[in-house]
Amino acid sequence: MLEVGCGAGNTLFPVLNEYPSLKCYGVDISKRAIELVQSRSEFRIHQKRCKVWVCDIAYSCLPKEIEPVDIATLIFVLSAIHPKQITQALRNVKMKMKEGGILFIRDYGVYDLSQLRFGPGSKLGENLYVRHDGTRTYFFSKQALKGMLEDAGFKVDEIVYHRKTVVNSKKDLEMKRTWIQAKAINSSNS
């Protein structure tokens, strides 16, 4: 398994604990995140089955040490990449996947609460916004994500919106969230 955007390993380690024969790779753009993974006691326990690297998938191929994987995940990763670079990022992931391998994506969907909260001057392009800290966020429609996946050479198996109302009882606030989920198959190694 390959987790792109592994952060501090909050998905890697539960997966490693649940599946004792699974080998996992993790990459993240943040050097600090990779340092956090490597500093955790779980990393020392699983270091024969878990390898991690700093990598910007929008501009770099994944490390050559990563063997072809059956499963890859991109959980809230693509939205932080400029839309013009997303197809290349997907191609970089695809190159490390076995034929028939499955890619799982979860990210921000159009009309998510966070998109609707952006004020004037925050919009950079269609569904692309800049946050107050200068980072960018892209919100996916089904059609846009499908096109990007197909352009990268994946066969789209499923794309759905996941809508959920999250309640912050402390602030007495309801937040309507819209995420997009996709499952795509690496149909060839081209």
Q: Is 71 a member of any domain?
A: yes
Predicted confidence band of residue 189 (pLDDT cuts 50, 70, 90): low
Of 169 and 186, the one with more pLDDT:
186
> Do 107 and 178 contact (CB within 8 A), yes or no?
no
Question: Could you tell me the pTM of the whole model?
Answer: 0.91
At 98-133, the pLDDT tens digits run 999 999 999 999 999 989 889 888 999 999 999 988
Q: Is 167 a member of any domain?
A: no
> Do 160 and 184 contact (CB within 8 A), yes or no?
no
- 3-state secondary structure string across the chain: CEEECCCCCCCHHHHHHHCCCCCEEEEECCHHHHHHHHHCHHHHHHCCCEEEEECCCCCCCCCCCCCCEEEEEEECCHHHCCHHHHHHHHHHHHCCEEEEEEEEEEEEECCCHHHHCCCCCCEEECCEEECCCCCEEECECHHHHHHHHHHCCEEEEEEEEEEEEEEECCCCEEEEEEEEEEEEEECCCC
Q: Is 54 a member of any domain?
A: yes
Q: What is the mean pLDDT of the chain?
A: 94
Task: Name the token pair of 174.
Answer: 């309801």
Q: Is 169 a member of any domain?
A: no
Q: Is 174 a member of any domain?
A: no
CATH number for the domain that contains residue 97: 3.40.50.150
At 10-54, the pLDDT tens digits run 899 999 999 999 999 999 999 999 999 999 999 999 999 999 999
Bridge partner list, 140:
109
What is the distance between the alpha carbons of residues 3 and 67, in angstroms, rounded to a whole number? 13
| Number of compact structural domains in the chain | 1
Residue 190 has pLDDT above 60, yes or no: no
Task: Name the token pair of 58.
Answer: 């929008």
Q: Is 56 a member of any domain?
A: yes
Residue type at position 107? D
Instruction: Note down the domain range covering 48.
Output: 2-107+136-160+181-186
Phi, psi of 19 (to 5 degrees): -125, 90
Q: Is 116 a member of any domain?
A: no
pLDDT for 175 equals 87
What is the distance between the alpha carbons of residues 9 and 130, in angstroms, rounded to a whole number? 27
Q: Is 131 a member of any domain?
A: no
